[in-house]
Amino acid sequence: DAGITQSPRYKITETGRQVTLMCHQTWSHSYMFWYRQDLGHGLRLIYYSAAADITDKGEVPDGYVVSRSKTENFPLTLESATRSQTSVYFCASKGDFYGYTFGSGTRLTVV
Amino acid sequence: AQTVTQSQPEMSVQEAETVTLSCTYDTSESDYYLFWYKQPPSRQMILVIRQEAYKQQNATENRFSVNFQKAAKSFSLKISDSQLGDAAMYFCAYLTPYSGGSNYKLTFGKGTLLTVNP
């Protein structure tokens, strides 16, 4: 099906572990984004990408790494997970006429 | 940097009644887009309505309409004939529509949790 697929939907990991959240789009949208959602903060931008091999920091990038070797994939890696990174993570892409599509989110718990 | 403020963390409305959710924003730009997104318990982000700043006419989508006051930098969402399925978190969002400095980044408010009472 066309759209954005995020995996996993739920993830529990231990403090200090590396974890990667996956995001795949079936279109060829240039712009992709990673947001985290926390109660009382709304959605905050972690990283974004304007095209393959072009990424840049958003509002809250510390502790995260992204890559984009292919247009359709935009994985987010937590290099050493901390409890403060417990959150819901959303991947999104920008289509034509400022239509944004969001994935269904990954709920990450760091214990 | 642009900021979006939703001053109502929670709202409630009776089924079939009307409710208005508030949103204000801060920007020095003259051309921009504003959005309302709905997030039900499924977590899916659903676009409810959007407004282009250059348009004076308020956007409307069925039971959803906005009151866009550009000078006051206000963008409220009115839901008429509220239904149980309208219960969700609602986010207001802002976008500067050119790739120069903004890189098409959406800026969100903190959200308003809407409860619909039967």
pLDDT tens-digit map of B6-64: 999 999 999 999 999 999 999 988 889 999 999 999 999 999 999 999 998 999 999 99
User: Which residue from A minimizes the CA distance to B47?
Assistant: A100
For A12, the 3-state DSSP assignment is: strand
* Residue of A36, A44, A100, A107 to mutate, testing the B interface (most B Cβ within 10 Å of its Cβ): A100
Alpha carbons within 13 A on the beta-carbon side of B10:
4
Pick out chain A residues at pLDDT < 50.
none
Neighbouring residues of B16: CB distance < 8 A, sequence distance ≥ 6: B81, B82
Distance from CA of B1 to the nearest CA of A (A): 11
Please report which confidence band the pLDDT of residue B99 belongs to, taking 50, 70 and 90 as the band edges. Answer: low
Instruction: Check whether B115 has a pLDDT greater than 90.
Output: yes
Under the banding of pLDDT at 50, 70 and 90, the label for residue B97 is confident
Closest among B7, B21, B34, B22 to B87, alpha carbons compared? B21
Closest Cβ–Cβ partner in B99, B103, B108 for A42: B108
